[in-house]
């Protein structure tokens, strides 16, 4: 224990899912490219990773790989056009995407589950702690959620999961933990030591109301655990099951993070996120608010 100086440099973005909850929009493009106001979902996650000090982005792709690759690549034609037209702000926003980071891609040929997707990044991650970001969980927070997990990881040197309270039958859409609160740095009721995890339990069998949200800070031993487990819920290799395996030899913490999370992989959640993010924008918020007021809801 104690503050450590290991730097977490790498963030893995599983992006090979079929996006069935968002058909037909996701028939020919990955759900990670759905646009929230004016940026694709995955860019929100990538920016969160960058703002948490990570520099190596590893995207695990399936179908629609080229749209994601092109998005994070330099677009000479577009930059040239914006330059000749004197559109400096737009040029800066387009350049910022490709400038700040080093992006690598690895292919997940079959959608065999989240654990399987993370395992595809094993060689690129190597023997160091890393983050996993599920980009359909969009989190609006003053301190980036990944940074909040990182602070706990740096103190305990262990894996840390983002947790949120979910009440009612919705709990069975999530990985759910059994955990005891740990007091930490004036945080009480926020940090938990995890004792068990269950992927998508029946509501009546959920061990608590603490759901796993798509931000993970993992130690590299997780890869061995993923390799050791059998398919679970939905016949898929589940990251939750691998974490349960890891618990046998390593402590795992969970943090009820500060911030608001949107399930942007769900149509209603996506609409809510769109409205809230648009209202927060300094360039769009004012006129958009005025427009909403005219709707007489």
Interface residues toward ligand G1P, by CB under 6 A: 114, 134, 137, 174-175, 199, 211-214, 238-240
Min dist. Cβ of residue 174 to ligand G1P (A): 3
Min dist. Cβ of residue 238 to ligand G1P (A): 6
Cβ 159 vs Cβ 216: under 8 Å: yes
Nearest CB to ligand G1P, comparing residues 8 and 211: 211
Nearest CB to ligand G1P, comparing residues 154 and 254: 254
Min dist. Cβ of residue 255 to ligand G1P (A): 14
**Could you give the maximum distance between any two Cα atoms of the chain, in Å?**
62
Q: Which residue number places its CB atom closest to ligand G1P?
A: 175
Cβ 49 vs Cβ 60: under 8 Å: no
Phi, psi for 199 (deg, rounded to 5): -85, 125
The DSSP string of 238-270 is -HHHHHHHHTTTS-EEEEE-SSEEEETTSHHHH
Q: What tokens does 6 get?
A: 């290991």
Cβ 13 vs Cβ 42: under 8 Å: yes
Distance CA 12, CA 59 (A): 6
Q: CA-based Rg of the chain, rounded to a whole angstrom?
A: 19
Nearest CB to ligand G1P, comparing residues 82 and 146: 146
Nearest CB to ligand G1P, comparing residues 213 and 222: 213
Nearest CB to ligand G1P, comparing residues 82 and 171: 171
Phi, psi for 135 (deg, rounded to 5): -75, -10
CA 1 to chain centre: 27
Query: E strand or H helix at 51, and its extent?
Result: helix 41-51
Nearest CB to ligand G1P, comparing residues 32 and 199: 199
SS3 196: strand
Cβ 139 vs Cβ 164: under 8 Å: no
Min dist. Cβ of residue 137 to ligand G1P (A): 5
Min dist. Cβ of residue 175 to ligand G1P (A): 2
Min dist. Cβ of residue 183 to ligand G1P (A): 25
Min dist. Cβ of residue 292 to ligand G1P (A): 28
Nearest CB to ligand G1P, comparing residues 154 and 174: 174
């Amino acid at each position: 224990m104690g503050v450590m100086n290991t730097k977490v440099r790498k963030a893995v973005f599983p992006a090979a899912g079929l996006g069935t909850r968002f058909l037909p929009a996701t028939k020919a493009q990955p759900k990670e490219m759905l646009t929230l106001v004016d940026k694709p979902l995955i860019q929100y996650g990538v920016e969160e990773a960058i703002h948490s000090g990570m520099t190596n982005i590893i995207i695990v792709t399936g179908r629609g790989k080229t749209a994601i690759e092109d998005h994070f690549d330099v677009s000479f034609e577009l930059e040239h056009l914006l330059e000749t037209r004197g559109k400096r702000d737009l040029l800066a926003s387009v350049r910022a995407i490709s400038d700040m980071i080093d992006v690598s891609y690895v292919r997940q040929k079959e959608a065999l589950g989240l654990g399987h997707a993370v395992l595809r990044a094993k060689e690129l991650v190597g023997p160091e702690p890393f983050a996993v970001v599920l980009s359909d969980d969009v989190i609006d927070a003053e301190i980036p959620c990944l940074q909040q997990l990182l602070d706990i990881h740096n103190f305990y040197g262990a894996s840390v999961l983002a947790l949120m309270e979910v009440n009612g039958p919705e709990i069975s859409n999530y990985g759910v933990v059994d955990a005891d609160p740990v007091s930490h740095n004036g945080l009480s009721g926020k940090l938990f030591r995890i004792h068990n995890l269950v992927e998508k339990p029946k509501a009546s069998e959920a061990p608590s109301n603490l759901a796993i949200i798509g931000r993970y800070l993992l130690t590299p031993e997780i890869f061995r655990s993923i390799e050791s487990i059998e398919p679970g819920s939905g016949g898929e290799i589940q990251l939750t099951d691998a974490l349960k395996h890891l618990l046998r030899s390593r402590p795992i913490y969970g943090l009820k993070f500060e911030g608001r999370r949107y399930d942007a992989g769900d149509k209603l959640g996506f609409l809510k996120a769109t409205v809230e993010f648009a209202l927060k924008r300094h360039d769009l918020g004012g006129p958009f608010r005025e427009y909403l007021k005219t709707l007489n809801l």
